[in-house]
Amino acid sequence: MQSQLSTGEVFETLKMIDEEHLDVRTITMGINLLDCSSANIDRACNKIYEKICRKAEKLVAVGEDIEKEYGIPIINKRISVTPISLVAAASDADNYVPIAHALDRAAATVGVNFIGGFSALVHKGRSDSDHILIKSIPEALASTERVCGSVNVASTGAGINMDAVELMGQTIKQAAELSADRDGFACAKLVVFCNAVEDNPFMAGAFHGVGEPETVINVGVSGPGVVKAALTSVKGEEFGVVAETIKKTAFKVTRMGQLVAQEASRRLDVRFGIVDISLAPTPAVGDSVAYILEEMGLEKCGTHGTTAALALLNDAVKKGGTMASSFVGGLSGAFIPVSEDAGMISAVQEGALTLEKLEAMTAVCSVGLDMICVPGDTPASTISGIIVDEIAIGMVNNKTTAVRVIPAPGKKVGDLVEFGGLLGTGPVMPVNKFSCEAFIARGGRIPAPMHSLKN
């Protein structure tokens, strides 16, 4: 399958790159590690390290070559692996931190910036291996630079595993405490999911699902700045025109992503998986989803009308992207991570955007409460409450939702947490002062919704 760009499209794409922050956010290679299982954890670590280095040895070089030849910025080269709770299940180890260190070494050797898959899927219950992995998360993420983790605690078909939700609140608190010298940085590498997908190229939630090929290339595009620039040309027009403009722009962005994905697949001799068409912002001014919403006529992101504007944006991005590629997947829509979006940061600081409004917005966009900083003394039960509210939105609406929350040690409301790079700057947001501890402590499972019975 080939995707050719016309001369006009090439020049238009170059303009987007030069002036509007267009980029390919990530090329992510998925690698199956199930054959690295071993009863001896040291042997498993060696096999994991060797396989990742062998499969991904050319990933960064190929990405850089494509950048040079096509003039398309490729910001990140990443790896996702089979959920480690599955890979490690054959061992008799009671701690999987050594595997996290092996992943980190492999990521450093091949030169990628993140490796995802220190993960467990516990939406209907947890195995012994799942439990060991979750207990290992705080130390694993605090003692590594590149390793990302995720835990799927719910699905529309299974309901919500409240025991896992409670445990994840405690896990996030522990991870923050173990990385207190870096303002809880370990938590920025940890996602709690409902309806996690197997082909997500974006961190920190990427893992290589069991339904995926041996190895695969998935690409995540970006381009909030491109969409905002397009909307300036239709200022004051009615919403049908706005939607059409976004669709056309998303089509062009996705075509570029497909071209890069196919080139990377061909050069690496690895199967092409999907293009994730998510609008993923950065802290750079002009590369913000919040600014797109404000371009539609909102004085500030978070005011009344914000959820409707985001719904329009998300829908138009999906429609335009799916016309440009037959293999769109991952999360695909619009991300609203606070610390990674200059407009979101500003909206929080000016009081326009609250945690409650963000939660409402997640009902109509991709992912969920992402890169949210809260006071360091926030109880674990409150964190679990934040998680389960967001997870319930995903379960009932049959969509992927997630929480990436950082209880920043020693920080209070209004403080800033500096993560640097794409993770940006997080303003500490207030949480509800009333307790949900007794609710979380009930445990068990919240049943799946009626519409899950589709068989």
The DSSP letter of residue 230 is H
**312 lies in the same domain as 257:** yes
Final residue in a domain of this structure, among 194, 209, 242 = 194
When the pLDDT of each residue in the chain is averaged and rounded to a whole number, the result is: 90
> For the residues 396-421, what does the mean pLDDT come to?
91
> For the residues 394-423, what does the mean pLDDT come to?
90
**78 lies in the same domain as 183:** yes
Residues in the chain: 455
**298 lies in the same domain as 363:** yes
Ramachandran category for residue 443: left, alpha or beta (phi over 0 → left; psi -120 to 50 → alpha)? left
Contacts of 243 (CB under 8 A, 6+ apart): 312, 315, 316
**86 lies in the same domain as 138:** yes
pLDDT at site 13: 58
CB neighbours of residue 77 within 10 Å: 22
In a domain, 453, yes or no: no
In a domain, 361, yes or no: yes
Span between the terminal Cα atoms of the chain, in Å: 34
**134 lies in the same domain as 70:** yes
**pLDDT tens digit string along 244-270?**
999 988 888 888 888 889 999 999 999
In a domain, 93, yes or no: yes
Question: Cβ distance 26 to 78 under 8 Å?
Answer: yes
Domain count, the chain: 2
Range of the domain at 163: 31-194
Torsion sign across C-alpha atoms 235, 238, 241, 246: positive
Least confident of 221-235, 278-292, 333-347, 391-405: 278-292
In a domain, 293, yes or no: yes
Question: For position 424, which CATH number holds?
Answer: 3.20.70.20
Tokens linked to 227: 């969409």
**302 lies in the same domain as 394:** yes
**189 lies in the same domain as 289:** no
Separation of alpha carbons 75 and 67, rounded Å: 9
**76 lies in the same domain as 225:** no
pLDDT at site 361: 93
**260 lies in the same domain as 182:** no
Single pTM value for the model: 0.91
**70 lies in the same domain as 121:** yes
**pLDDT tens digit string along 30-49?**
999 999 999 999 999 999 99
Closest CA to 151 of 114, 195, 184: 195
**411 lies in the same domain as 443:** yes
324 against 398, higher pLDDT: 398
Question: Cβ distance 265 to 272 under 8 Å?
Answer: yes
pLDDT at site 223: 76
H/E element, 439: helix 437-441
